[in-house]
Amino acid sequence: INVNTVSALSSIQTRLNFVSVGVEQGLSQSCVQDMEQDHIGFMWIGTKNGLNRYDGSSFTVYKHNADPASIQFNDVTAVAEYTDGNMLIGFNTGSLNKYIRDNDNFIPISSDIFEENPVYDIYVDNLVCILVATKKGLYQGYSNGENFCLFTIDSAAQDGRPLHINKIVTGMNQN
């Protein structure tokens, strides 16, 4: 880097604008448990009282109701986007739903796989592998909701306590 490049870089100013949105603007509840921005730009916000989709100006709120195509539960703890553009929703009950964007509805993709362990985080890779972080540990499955299995780590199991996982973090090693 030469002096001219440093001078040019230091003169660049980044302007960030933050907008606060909450219950007054239509958010279903003020306790946000997870957020995900999809490939279109919508912000998906999981709360204790429903799933919220924010388009930058208004909210669409999804809550459980008598319709079998509605979201299965209201206590949304995790949100992730599939490679096909649909959304995967995790609940405090240990269940998962898939949001089908074209039909604007939800389908359950698991029932008792996680043995009533809250879903804390979801990661979907480019190969349709799903990782689900729960109170009991880390599960791996596939986008069809089948073949979920619990990862066990011997050192964690030695004291008899389950491996409690709150967050899945991914990245690349640059070394």
pLDDT the model gives residue 70: 97
pLDDT at site 141: 84
pLDDT of residue 159: 63
Distances (CA, A) of 86 to 34, 38, 158: 17, 9, 39
Predicted confidence at residue 156, as pLDDT, reads 52
**pLDDT at residue 2, as a whole number:** 43
Whole-number Å distance between alpha carbons of 145 and 129: 10
- Residue 142 · residue 130 · CB < 8 Å: yes
pTM over 0.85: no
Query: Which pair of tokens denotes residue 172?
Result: 């690349």
Q: Cα separations (Å) of 51 from 11, 105, 163, 164, 166?
A: 42, 12, 28, 24, 20
Q: What is the pLDDT along the chain (175 residues), one digit of tens a residue?
A: 444 444 444 555 677 788 789 999 999 999 999 999 999 999 999 999 999 999 999 999 999 999 999 999 999 999 999 888 999 999 998 889 999 999 999 999 865 677 778 999 999 987 778 889 988 888 888 766 667 888 766 555 556 666 778 888 877 554 4
CB atoms within 10 A of CB 78: 25
- pLDDT at res. 143: 65
pLDDT value of residue 127: 75
What pLDDT, on the 0 to 100 scale, is given for residue 129? 85
